[in-house]
Amino acid sequence: MTVHDRVAGSCACKGIRHCLLCEKLKLSNSSENKIVHHFTYDPKRKLAICKNGVPVSFPFPGVFLWEDFLSEEEEKEFISSMDQDVWNPSQSGRKKQDFGPKVNFKKKKVRLAGFRGLPALSKKLVLRMQQEESLASFQPVEQCNLDYNPQRGSAIDPHLDDSWLWGERLVTVNMLSDTTLNMSLERGLPQLGLSGEVNVAVPLPRRSLVVLFGEARHRWKHGILRKDIQERRVCSTYRELSAEFLPSGQRAEMGAQLLNIAGSFNGTPV
């Protein structure tokens, strides 16, 4: 039995978030009828393709998909290593492992705390990422592992990642099962005649890598819907520093410390 199996599945949901463990104890929000336009992302043509009969498709920049980024043997190795560490309860039915600094985004404070670097096994993955031209300069300073399970109703609400500390590219490696990254724009696309919410489903094959940047990073919210978790799914998300923490930035000294620690690859979950 692994540590993953032994850890209690306590609920960590706060605010409006919920999972199967706590839904019966919380009042569900009443949802108003609203118009939602559904599209599917085509990685070859980089287009959002219509799903519901509306005769329109549109360019969808800011997504890079690398299929078969991991081999089957590497996936087994990574999952086995992760399951030797404790998975901590997180919100919306997920569990997590953090390798990164302690951050208070509201107060804009960063503490090194127990940060000792990214995990050792990630070194070869970062080197592989950097072989891709668009990721050649990618230097992650944080890795977050997330465990999704349908028995817990795991999901993650649509959101935009912080852009004060975290930089332009968000890189995620998807493991154990296929899923779908749901991209959403609540205000619609009036220039295309689309009022109401617009959703673009980005298929994430097992063992693939996905990068969000540009409009997909800063304008479109991203999330994972509960219906798209059919079996256990584990992902690792890597984040780089924003310009404020890079050379010539206001917090360049802190940024240099973070890069130095992360690049040691001696980390354990903090």
Domain ranges, ordered by start, for the chain: 62-179+204-262
Nearest by Cα to 173 from 127, 205, 220: 205
Residue that the structure tokens 């031209």 belong to: 133
| 62-179+204-262: CATH superfamily | Alpha-ketoglutarate-dependent dioxygenase AlkB-like (2.60.120.590)
Which of residues 193 and 65 earns the better pLDDT score?
65
SS (H, E, C) 200-261: EEEEECCCCEEEECHHHHHCCEEEECHHHCCCCEEEEEEEEECHHHCCCCCCHHHHHHHHHH
Specify the pTM: 0.89
Q: What is the pLDDT of residues 193-215, one digit of tens each?
A: 888 999 999 999 999 999 999 99
pLDDT in tens, 73-119: 999 999 999 999 999 999 999 999 999 999 999 999 999 989 999 99
Sign of CA pseudo-dihedral 147, 85, 1, 69: positive
**DSSP assigned state of 194:** B
pLDDT value at residue 128:
98
Nearest-angstrom CA–CA distance, 142 and 162 = 13
Residue 82, CA atoms < 13 Å, CB-side half-sphere: 25
Can you say whether the dihedral through the CA atoms of 119, 123, 129, 130 is positive or negative?
positive
Provide the H-helix boundaries in the chain: 3-6, 72-82, 122-129, 214-218, 252-262
The number of angstroms, rounded, from the C-alpha of 232 to the middle of its chain's C-alpha atoms is 16
Whole-number Cα distances in Å, 161 to 10, 170, 199, 214: 25, 9, 18, 12
Residue with tokens 């706590």: 22
